[in-house]
Amino acid sequence: MKQIPDTAPFLLDFFIKKHPDQFVFKSTCQAGLQNEIVDIAEKEIQFLQHDDIKNIAAIVMDVEKNELLSYVGNTRINQHKNRNFVDVAQAPRSYGSLLKPFLYGYAIDRGFILPGELLYDIPTAIGDFTPKNFDEKFRGAVRADETILQSLNVPAVRLLNQIGLSGFYEFISRLHPAYLDKGVDHYGLSLILGGGETTLWEMSRLYKGLAQNYLGQSYPYRPVQYMVDRKEETEKVSVEFSASAITSLVSVMADIHRPREDRFWFKFENEKKLHGRQEQVTDTGTPGLSALMENML
């Protein structure tokens, strides 16, 4: 008996939960790419298992068309042993440092900082909160754009405290990230360090939005289209950064080096600076975070 292909079980579950009244789904995902991403994810999880990481998810979106291209909710390796029946793409978890670029753009747009302005990375105590960097070191005065490159925690907390926690939380709330809705007092300044939870699906939408914002698309942080014959009836997100802020932000993130690759990748003949279809943005400062903007711009 021929086995039915099972390359996107979590995507099917997602469709059923979103549209329980529907029985046939026409996805925007590409079968060939889906198979490739599944293979990549399963090879990657075998490498990561040495660090006791047993679950993985991947989302690929087409920025120009605002369409979902691939959806991998988890690996199929050792499913029973590692509980890989959970759709990790939809499971709430800490977002780590992934809001730092949004703080950077927010601060530039409101005139609090310039890209080359010096921020302080020094021992800091704000009430009972004493933020530390991932390496527990301090660097003194650091350029604002460099704090994003290094994903430094202390300057981010100090900047958030300076510009106002409530205003930034209101800005983030207008982007409607799932689960990040418990109120500003619940999160405090830890908001910028992953003190809340959301999902990979939601963060992929927000980072897709950064790319679309850069390209000048309308409503860049809108939900992605994932079904061919059905558009999502959702409120359009009218938030966006100014041209100067998003250009500065993308320029900074384009310089972030790729994980587990040579820092001087640009010297190789077959590599390109993060530009055009080759663009990739990765968080390198906080352990455990994955790239969320690969081949998006």
Which residue carries 């759709």 as its tokens?
A: 87
Q: What is the pLDDT of residue 6?
A: 72
Strand (E) or helix (H) holding 294: strand 293-294
R_g of the chain, CA atoms, integer Å: 20
Asked if 57 and 80 sit in the same domain, the reply is: yes
With H, G, I as helix, E, B as strand and everything else as coil, classify residue 281: strand
Calpha distance 143→117 (Å, rounded): 5
With respect to residue 112, please indicate whether it lies within any of the assigned structural domains.
Answer: yes
Q: What is the pLDDT of residue 287?
A: 36
CATH number of residue 167's parent domain: 3.40.710.10
> Which tens digits make up the pLDDT trace of 120-155?
999 999 999 999 999 999 999 999 999 999 999 999
> Which tens digits make up the pLDDT trace of 37-81?
999 999 998 888 889 888 999 999 999 999 999 999 998 766 556
With respect to residue 51, please indicate whether it lies within any of the assigned structural domains.
Answer: yes
**Do 73 and 11 contact (CB within 8 A), yes or no?**
yes
- Structure token digits, residue 250: 């993308």
Q: What is the pLDDT of residue 294?
A: 38
With respect to residue 254, please indicate whether it lies within any of the assigned structural domains.
Answer: no
Q: Which of 62, 91, 120 is the last residue of a domain?
A: 91
For the chain, how many structural domains are there in total? Answer: 2
Q: What is the pLDDT of residue 98?
A: 97
Asked if 159 and 105 sit in the same domain, the reply is: yes
With respect to residue 295, please indicate whether it lies within any of the assigned structural domains.
Answer: no
Strand (E) or helix (H) holding 61: strand 58-62
Which stretches in the chain have pLDDT values below 70? 1-5, 77-83, 231-235, 256-297
Q: What is the pLDDT of residue 265?
A: 47
- Structure token digits, residue 65: 């068309």
With respect to residue 267, please indicate whether it lies within any of the assigned structural domains.
Answer: no
Asked if 106 and 167 sit in the same domain, the reply is: yes
Asked if 116 and 58 sit in the same domain, the reply is: no
With respect to residue 133, please indicate whether it lies within any of the assigned structural domains.
Answer: yes
Residue 83: domain span? 1-91
